[in-house]
Amino acid sequence: MATQMQLARQGIITEAMLQVAAQEQLAPEVIRAGVAAGTIAVCCNINHKNLVPRGVGQGLAVKVNANIGTSSAYPDPEPELAKLRAAIDAGADSVMDLSTGDNIDASRKAIIAASTVMVGTVPIYQATVETIKKRGAVVEMTKEDLFEVIRQQAADGADFMTIHCGINRQVLHALVSEGRVMDVVSRGGSFITGWMLHNDRENPLYEYYDEILDICAEYDVTISLGDGLRPGCLADATDRAQIQELLNLGELTQRAWQRGVQVMVEGPGHVPYNQIAANMQLQKRLCHGAPFYVLGPLVTDIAPGYDHITSAIGGTLAAVSGADFLCYVTPAEHLGLPDIDDVREGVIATRIAAHAADIAKGLPQAIAWDREMAVARKNLDWPEQIRLALDPVKAQAYRDKKNKAEDEACSMCGDYCAVKIVGQYLEAHRKKQ
């Protein structure tokens, strides 16, 4: 079966492309051309049966991902299904199953079966967990262990997979020789780095990359090229190791496109605000316009408990500067596994960042949404304001808590509502004209 990219190059507009075009209010040919060129990815595994496809990339609304998944401390998959529902209800465009607890296969299959949004996975997590159970240490993992998991997750319906292919010996040399404050903070990156250092061998994900592309092409999995050396603190941002890995990802992007495999490229991380735009522009140049998927970026290291805010601040600038896909950060980041409330807060904060960027980029539907809200506020039309709110549930709760049901204005100004007063005088003035 041909991939979305292969079909697009044949001039074929698929059903998935039509759905994306309708969502984005764009001509289907715009989506087809973007998929053919690699600047748009439509992530839809042939085995994810209840998926409503979404597009990620140039000219489209910025998309938002929510991470869920079990851990060794919380191995029960049921709460993760509840988080999936919360993420979708809050408006996430995708979820990633980052499970490392027991029953990883069962958890992933349940999430994919229940998800109407695209689902991403990180195969090395499962390969590491299973290797440790069988042989006691991640450094005992074999190429076969890794590739068996990649194939299984693809067959199960993962729409995109984060594969840490960009770390090779040259990148590792840059990391060791330059030094970092926090070294490696990516879990997948740490597994690969530890394996390479211990075994003194090349990264099998880099060495046997073409075999990964074979699997991705078979199931139409979008490969999300993981940034295993993303900076974990501001002091490590934009260093030689990060940029060397990015250079590799640019090469790997082209190799995937040659095989008709769709690509997203992952990026930082923790980045000082004044370096964000340069990071985005560098990625777009080096990776030939491939969709860029960033974690945050977080603009300060000192706000645990509020990292959904530090992430949203960086996310808006990142998206304005070229990022296409924002991975949420929750208030629990750096502190613990997020609960349902954390998931909701993370999605909403990241959606605000994405929408602000969409306005700055001039997307008509984003601008129209804000204008509709302004008109509803001018008219003191509370039901319409709640309907238009990005988070109607929270907006309604605040409205009910802070005001009496019969109040026309809000309790902030009460009888001295600026909108109401000026509206009355303007109306009177116009009647005199």
pLDDT tens digit string along 132-157? 999 999 999 999 999 999 999 999 99
Q: Where exactly are the structural domains of the chain? A: 4-362, 365-432
| pLDDT for the residue numbered 370 | 98
186 annotated ligand-binding residue: yes
165 annotated ligand-binding residue: no
Share of residues in the chain with pLDDT > 70 (%): 100
Cα angle value 318/322/327 (rounded, 5°): 50
**With 80 as the cut, is the pLDDT of residue 179 above it?**
yes
266 annotated ligand-binding residue: yes
From CA 333, how far away is CA 42, in angstroms rounded? 29
pLDDT band at 432 (very low <50, low <70, confident <90, very high): confident
Q: Which of 178, 180, 276, 163 has its CA nearest to residue 214?
A: 163
328 annotated ligand-binding residue: no
188 annotated ligand-binding residue: yes
| pLDDT for the residue numbered 195 | 97
pLDDT tens digit string along 15-27? 999 999 999 999 9
148 annotated ligand-binding residue: no
| Of 100-109, 207-216, 414-423, minimum mean pLDDT range | 414-423
What secondary structure does DSSP assign to 347-395, as a single string? Answer: HHHHHHHHHHHHHHTT-HHHHHHHHHHHHHHHTT-HHHHHHHSSSHHHH
44 annotated ligand-binding residue: no
219 annotated ligand-binding residue: no
| Of 71-80, 108-117, 242-251, 275-284, minimum mean pLDDT range | 71-80
pLDDT band at 427 (very low <50, low <70, confident <90, very high): confident
273 annotated ligand-binding residue: no
**Mean pLDDT, range 185-207, rounded to an integer:** 97
From CA 161, how far away is CA 7, in angstroms rounded? 21
| pLDDT for the residue numbered 236 | 98
pLDDT tens digit string along 372-420? 999 999 999 999 999 999 999 999 999 999 988 777 778 777 777 888 7
| pLDDT for the residue numbered 391 | 97
pTM: 0.95
Check: CATH 1.10.10.10 for 4-362?
no
Quote the crossing angle between the two packed helices 143-156 and 123-135, to the nearest 10°.
130
334 annotated ligand-binding residue: yes
